[in-house]
Structure 1
């Protein structure tokens, strides 16, 4: 249940738009070398604070407060527009605030399809209330909303502490929709007594904005919204991807707000807040003892301003002889501003990071469980030329004993950039090519973009046009823009019928030449329009339901990935998990597949910035993310390429990719020394696949990020809050990629005063809460296993993940300072939904204590027959050599186990075991 209140507003933002025009008449595409974000047309929006404040009207004490604002002249009219505010309590310590016009001229856009379902509300109890305020509490009573009417303000209170305030700065604004006839009448009735200031003229111009040859007509005038949030005691904020920026959000100055507006940006600029391919309007705030989240559900262009006031130990409360000292805590003010829509914001109250992750996934869904092959290595470039090229590259991996799982084909595989077709000269027999890959248990991924070539003889275009499935221009015809095929129309994925039809195109009977090993890559879906404003679609293009593109721009790519994933599921009659990579994304995209960081450059700085970019994606729900190995643009030197492979092997999505005018860079083309180093990096990825797969299962069922900043695992250690050059994989592994050329030493921070950390290669160990200088050579990437953890591995590496299904397991047991360790492993068939529908899975738990390692069932619901055995166990941190080791099966039988102990590294090695992974057993070390 929620609470509502009504207040009137003539508050509006004066939205002055400054257009920086492209230097060239034809904007450069993302794949044209030399172009950059600065060559595109950028929109910058300055949103001023409202000129009026709320005042309370007379109401009964038994009713919710009714608010209104002072009348403010605008366009020479005195207007008062009632706004309706609603506050809801949602299961799991979530509050929702919605503000909309009570009776708008026409409905304002409310983002659909992102929320997994209608959130279950909880009853909010009125604790106290009078004519000016209201206190609402959830059922437990430990969270309260204090709502004040004059001025309008909401305080979120936990255990009598105000942790968040809304509109405490009075920056709520809401530009109401207006009848264009009112504007016309006003202009026609002007006389000399009417104020004709430049500001009024500027506001009138906002109805019809011009830049170059584009005219953006706003039929009902500007309709922007905004609201401020004050986070008390918080200095560290994270989130709102996608930007090539630091993990911790920075203070913003004039004109320096974080922008959320999905754009095709070739070779994006590092440390820039303008935004690139995707948008997730969600941030997290963290301090000692509490984590909060703010999810701003709006798909229009959005800006976020951040201002942090650090803590002051003491300040004088007044001057003079009675002056007193008072401690002043830190505070961060966050201002959200969107071009249109309504205010619809979710407050995630934590209190722990895990709680916030769970609350966000309750709203938008968890990471889709990926097929196992997609966690292997992917080989891509624009473009592998033909079937013979694919065959030769595939053979090269086998010849050089390098595992890989997926071959990728970019736009040149199609017939003239017509998606769902094959170039008959280059790929005359695509099924034969796929059968070659299938014979090695490998897969194929092909590209499918949202733009459709304008060609009446192209069946996809003809059918879509016949059924009215394209986005329309403001005159009512099909929107046409230029992209890879030339003149193109754009499928309106916001229309459920279009998504249903698009999904049907992946059926084997329709997509000729495709097989069940073919998966899909959605690119250019911001959407990219080469001659459009900022290389995208005009904001007044029309979508299903007569919604303008401005309302939903940031969610367009989300809908294409949704339709693609559903198409791959449908073609298997609901049996097989899809793999879909998308460049454009929104909140909830994690439900449909993977994301990558787009058109990066082969420079050390892009390798370095990839770590905070991926950390930010990970904590905002998108665990399946990665950056193109080697850099999409340019030619990496051998050292940089090796370092990028080493880093990528420890990041969730592991793909090499390059633009077509770069030199070929298959792993064996840089000399035997570098081939060996790349081989080792990729093979280490495959050895860790059981751990990777288990982490993705936990992300899928429990909302825990796969790749984690240190502050997630160590939320009570201030030293971790700003670290972004190293990270955790799950809770067991700490990774510090080498991102500087010719590095010989790396400073690694090992957190946790009660922790012990083991070097994964040398088995050397260090106590936590210190920075360690780790020597590195080109064959070294610092990776540490946390004491108290058990990491499952594969001991035999095959050509691909599919070739390793029955290969043996090993366990890396790293003991804590107390001599104990725990870990888990999850396995299933790796490709179907049987784990979900038929509970065909194994979830096992490993625990080590008092010299006994136990394998037990972690989830009794699961049943999956596995032939796999644990053949190897390493125990790190065992302080003395054992006298004997025995293995005990569930039936009580005991067998002696041969072992090797190294006193120098305190490591016990058990080899040639044959312990079934799915059975209960114990290993006694005495």
Structure 2
């Protein structure tokens, strides 16, 4: 009993600290200096690489080239593998040639073995060899001494590996506690003589002898007599604060540097609360990739957060490239940028350092941004295509108290005429924080509650976290324990840590059997009280361990034969993977799932949505939500958003309104708040602010067809939904550093108001030969300029690109599901050439039938030569819709003399229209075409009438 009381006191103290802390306690998290392997690697100086290539070990097959590398300091050999991949990519793998035991190689992230293309050695001599990469005069040069890889296009170096000589591979070795070490200690002088004898055979003068078949046969002896390296602190055990990390495998960290000539801008490696463009880390900590539960994170800081995607993208006006560092261990990324000046050319050097595993890197050679996104998607998959309803507004807090509270909040949205789709329940809804259960006093009839929402065509999300309360009467716990599916501690017993329920076990989601069992728990007859309109939120899946080192799991915990240090960054991905599979299985494979996750890795995009974690009600956090989501989009995670209003603290009404306005134009749109904050439902801040929030949410709902089409495109192609301006304007250097505005798709530019008391913003409108239309006023603006925009509290600066057609639904209902068959309005923004193009995508909005049975509508919308047409892109599909086109708004138009519609069966019908000469907007009213049909609308003009409102025609 005393032990139990002591444990409960510890939990109380932890929770109290979590609730009252004003900001992250950085002392809970390591710096590079405190991470022994990072410190060791960073102490290495550039320019003195000990690695060279043994060219006579070359082996070449159709798809793979291998070479051995040798470290001249310790004589340990590495195996270098090179693959040329389809789609203009190169894969480089480096591992120990003969490790004492296998080193971990990441699983379940790549969607398949990447298809390869033949490699061809063009030339070879004693200095190295040259391979053709078979595209655009691209070549790969392997330099032998020191080892270096360069990828060139013609005479220009695109990328170099180990050009700074920072390749470092800590080989696995026996602990010095072994008998051999004791012998060495006893007979030190004799051993040194033996080592000298062997090392004399490997000086520079015997290089040619080394690289013969005879020396290759002697490599075993060479490995056995390799120079012992000096032990340094942290190699075999490490302590951080009160936590000890045993390291039975000893030091095993890896490092490799990459150089990008002529590049000043690099992006990616989320998640960090920092600028979109990665900063120079020299003189400070590198960017850290290590999934952690960070309470109210700091801004402008490279410290690790909840998720990690080891993908970095380089960009200049000539080329975009990417690096995918496939390693799930703790990783640090050093960035050093040299800008052009004083006769020097710019260059960016990037160094990756991981605690364990192997070097497995994919070099994505672009050359365009869209190519890099396609290349990465071919490796790790594309964004899961969500149900339409998940793109609506989500209302959440920690916690809605009970069923009556849920009903009251739901009614509040109706009473204030505000649409929403989902209401969320946090950890307090469960019985004693036992997930997959309901509190019997607060939520005694969950099905009745869910049915009430379903009757209004609304849905719910409940939280299901991966820490399981240790309680013999809790079925989930007892079954996991009986199946022996928990993570183990270093001594082989079930690993236990402290989290919300108190003492908790952690399912081993790296085990496929565990994932299969977890997925089965979501069946309607297993998850009691659940229904088809109940979806899932995976939080705390870094995993969070309140009493663990850095608030996470001990690195020497065991996942089968692997240590947690090997797989740490994969844990959250596996939790979301198993949960998404469970939601799919419960419907018999019919329904698309929705799962929100806090922790993530490369490939997480395949399983659902991500949010940016425990932010705060501060203006800086509102601003930071933009580069954080843009960074995620660059690495494939397009379904992203930030907690509207800030999770911690209480926002001013101005901040809350501005956050709703910004959140309405991010992919995932959810209001969320901490348990200790005052209630924040949109109608609690006075009628004027309620009206402003209502308008922001309504703007979101009018654009749902566009969001849905973009998420479909992201699912099909891997292109991001929220995009930095440079993605669409890669040759415009002005766009390279912009992070306070962005594009949704390629056709909507958004510049949210993120400054307190702002009376104006200045937006950059890209494209010198383009025009942009204010979506609220239809005013036209020339591209290639900084536009001064006066703003009021109702302002959300949004512009539509000239040359685009965007579909909207302007009728407002209480949820997206109620709008499914409502008519569409086409917003046509003409280019200076009088053309425009867009798409309309429709399916059943919630099943996999679009994929499995090809049941969807996909129309290409085009305006050219005064003709607006709809053409079918979904050949072979017989899916139909009741929705129709009720209005067409053409911006930048000239008044026609008449308008008529021609259908595919030849019927010709006159169309009513209005023209506003002040805004040059032509409105076609009720043309009546079915949204899934092919049709053509003709604008007719008198012979001497200009046909579109171009600057040239305006002067006539």
The DSSP-based 3-state class of the residue aligned with 2:478 is: helix
The DSSP-based 3-state class of the residue aligned with 2:859 is: strand
- Alignment deviations for residues 266-316 of structure 1 (CA, whole Å, 9 cap, x no partner): 1100000012000000010011121000000000000000111122363xx
Whether the 8 Å CA contact 2:49–2:167 is kept in 1: the answer is: no
Partners of 1:916 and 1:694 lie apart in 2 by 18
Query: Which 10-residue stretch deviates more, 144-153 or 855-864?
Result: 855-864
**Residue from 90, 95, 104 that aligns with 2:85:** 90
Partners of 1:708 and 1:251 lie apart in 2 by 23
In the alignment, which residue of structure 2 is the partner of 1:111? 106
Partners of 2:252 and 2:868 lie apart in 1 by 63
Partners of 2:86 and 2:154 lie apart in 1 by 19
In the alignment, which residue of structure 2 is the partner of 1:59? 56
In the alignment, which residue of structure 1 is the partner of 2:921? 907
Instruction: Report whether the alignment pairs 1:416 with 2:451.
Output: no
Partners of 2:603 and 2:610 lie apart in 1 by 12
The DSSP-based 3-state class of the residue aligned with 1:497 is: helix
Change (3 A) 1:152 1:384: same
Instruction: Report whether the alignment pairs 1:623 with 2:638.
Output: yes
RMSD: 2.1
- Alignment deviations for residues 488-526 of structure 1 (CA, whole Å, 9 cap, x no partner): 010100000000000000011111110111110000000
- Alignment deviations for residues 759-782 of structure 1 (CA, whole Å, 9 cap, x no partner): 001111110110010010000010
In the alignment, which residue of structure 1 is the partner of 2:852? 837
**Post-superposition shift, 1:627?**
0.2
- Alignment deviations for residues 661-685 of structure 1 (CA, whole Å, 9 cap, x no partner): 0000000000000000100000110
**Residue from 745, 752, 758 that aligns with 1:743:** 758
In the alignment, which residue of structure 1 is the partner of 2:778? 763
Query: What TM-score, normalized by structure 1, do the two folds share?
Result: 0.93
Change (3 A) 1:709 1:65: closer
Change (3 A) 1:313 1:387: same
Whether the 8 Å CA contact 2:59–2:67 is kept in 1: the answer is: no
The DSSP-based 3-state class of the residue aligned with 1:663 is: coil
**Residue from 28, 38, 41 that aligns with 2:26:** 38
Whether the 8 Å CA contact 2:109–2:380 is kept in 1: the answer is: yes
In the alignment, which residue of structure 2 is the partner of 1:299? 328
Change (3 A) 1:800 1:250: same
In the alignment, which residue of structure 1 is the partner of 2:351? 335
Change (3 A) 1:514 1:62: closer
- Alignment deviations for residues 589-646 of structure 1 (CA, whole Å, 9 cap, x no partner): 0000000000000011100011011100011100000000000001111111110000
**Post-superposition shift, 1:232?**
1.3
**Residue from 107, 121, 131 that aligns with 2:126:** 131
**Residue from 376, 379, 383 that aligns with 2:392:** 376
In the alignment, which residue of structure 2 is the partner of 1:12? none
**Residue from 165, 168, 176 that aligns with 1:173:** 168
The DSSP-based 3-state class of the residue aligned with 2:516 is: helix
**Post-superposition shift, 1:882?**
1.4
In the alignment, which residue of structure 2 is the partner of 1:827? 842
In the alignment, which residue of structure 1 is the partner of 2:907? 893
Instruction: Report whether the alignment pairs 1:790 with 2:793.
Output: no
Change (3 A) 1:300 1:845: same
The DSSP-based 3-state class of the residue aligned with 2:101 is: coil
In the alignment, which residue of structure 1 is the partner of 2:277? 248
Instruction: Report whether the alignment pairs 1:667 with 2:685.
Output: no
Whether the 8 Å CA contact 1:31–1:266 is kept in 2: the answer is: no
The DSSP-based 3-state class of the residue aligned with 1:740 is: coil
Change (3 A) 1:28 1:850: same
**Residue from 813, 821, 843 that aligns with 1:806:** 821
In the alignment, which residue of structure 1 is the partner of 2:208? none
The DSSP-based 3-state class of the residue aligned with 1:773 is: strand
- Alignment deviations for residues 672-708 of structure 1 (CA, whole Å, 9 cap, x no partner): 0000010000011010000000000110101111000
- Alignment deviations for residues 57-112 of structure 1 (CA, whole Å, 9 cap, x no partner): 5738998896554553xxxxxx4221100000111011000000011111000000
Partners of 2:890 and 2:261 lie apart in 1 by 45
Change (3 A) 1:883 1:543: same
Whether the 8 Å CA contact 2:94–2:358 is kept in 1: the answer is: yes
Whether the 8 Å CA contact 2:899–2:910 is kept in 1: the answer is: yes
Partners of 1:856 and 1:28 lie apart in 2 by 61
**Residue from 530, 550, 553 that aligns with 1:514:** 530
Whether the 8 Å CA contact 1:94–1:347 is kept in 2: the answer is: yes
**Residue from 606, 610, 614 that aligns with 2:625:** 610
**Residue from 372, 393, 414 that aligns with 1:356:** 372
**Residue from 376, 383, 390 that aligns with 2:406:** 390
In the alignment, which residue of structure 2 is the partner of 1:479? 495
- Alignment deviations for residues 426-452 of structure 1 (CA, whole Å, 9 cap, x no partner): 000000000000001111100011100
In the alignment, which residue of structure 1 is the partner of 2:306? 277
Whether the 8 Å CA contact 1:481–1:488 is kept in 2: the answer is: yes
Change (3 A) 1:56 1:428: closer
The DSSP-based 3-state class of the residue aligned with 1:180 is: coil
In the alignment, which residue of structure 2 is the partner of 1:3? none
In the alignment, which residue of structure 1 is the partner of 2:896? 882
Whether the 8 Å CA contact 1:67–1:149 is kept in 2: the answer is: no
Alignment of 1:124-523 (within 5 A): 124-140=119-135, 142-180=137-175, 185-186=180-181, 189-190=184-185, 203=232, 205-312=234-341, 314=343, 328-523=344-539
Partners of 1:143 and 1:785 lie apart in 2 by 38
Whether the 8 Å CA contact 1:554–1:586 is kept in 2: the answer is: yes
Partners of 2:365 and 2:19 lie apart in 1 by 43
**Post-superposition shift, 1:864?**
1.4
Whether the 8 Å CA contact 2:429–2:439 is kept in 1: the answer is: yes
**Post-superposition shift, 1:557?**
0.3
Aligned length, in residue pairs? 881
**Post-superposition shift, 1:185?**
4.4
Partners of 2:859 and 2:578 lie apart in 1 by 35
Whether the 8 Å CA contact 2:71–2:77 is kept in 1: the answer is: no
In the alignment, which residue of structure 2 is the partner of 1:600? 615
**Post-superposition shift, 1:527?**
0.4
The DSSP-based 3-state class of the residue aligned with 2:332 is: strand
Alignment of 1:699-714 (within 5 A): 699-714=714-729
The DSSP-based 3-state class of the residue aligned with 1:146 is: strand
The DSSP-based 3-state class of the residue aligned with 1:308 is: strand
Whether the 8 Å CA contact 1:94–1:359 is kept in 2: the answer is: yes
**Post-superposition shift, 1:859?**
2.9
Partners of 2:329 and 2:733 lie apart in 1 by 35
Whether the 8 Å CA contact 1:358–1:702 is kept in 2: the answer is: yes
The DSSP-based 3-state class of the residue aligned with 1:813 is: strand
Partners of 1:640 and 1:612 lie apart in 2 by 18
Partners of 1:169 and 1:292 lie apart in 2 by 19
Change (3 A) 1:137 1:52: closer
- Alignment deviations for residues 538-591 of structure 1 (CA, whole Å, 9 cap, x no partner): 1100002x1001111111000000000000000011000000000000000000
- Alignment deviations for residues 118-175 of structure 1 (CA, whole Å, 9 cap, x no partner): 1111111111112331212234463221111111000111233210000011100000
The DSSP-based 3-state class of the residue aligned with 1:203 is: coil
Partners of 1:147 and 1:25 lie apart in 2 by 57
Whether the 8 Å CA contact 2:69–2:79 is kept in 1: the answer is: no
Partners of 2:422 and 2:127 lie apart in 1 by 63
Query: What TM-score, normalized by structure 2, do the two folds share?
Result: 0.90
